[in-house]
Structure 1
Amino acid sequence: MALPPSNRLRKLKNYWSVSINMQFKMIFRFENERASEVAIVDYH
């Protein structure tokens, strides 16, 4: 997965997080090399 550093790809416990903007993040997990349980979360 190639993302610009500004998207702040982060490993969480059992999940990954990518910043969409200052308010929203996309969280997901990988299963069999595919993203699953994808959600857009409002952190504010």
Structure 2
Amino acid sequence: MRSLPTKDTSGLKKILKRFGIAGFLFFFIKGLVWLAVLYFGVQFF
């Protein structure tokens, strides 16, 4: 069996992982902000 040539994608994986973590944190915080806005908006009225 012939093994497939592997490309060095460690840099690409690191960048994608960083964007994945950053994206997760962004949407997580955005969701928390929306929950707070709705919660305090309901209490305000």
TM-score category, normalised to shorter length = under 0.3
Bigger radius of gyration among the two: 2
Give the TM-score taking structure 2 as reference length.
0.18
Highest RCO, 1 vs 2 (Cα 8 Å, sep ≥ 6): 1
Name the structure with the higher helix share.
2
**Bigger share in strand:** 1
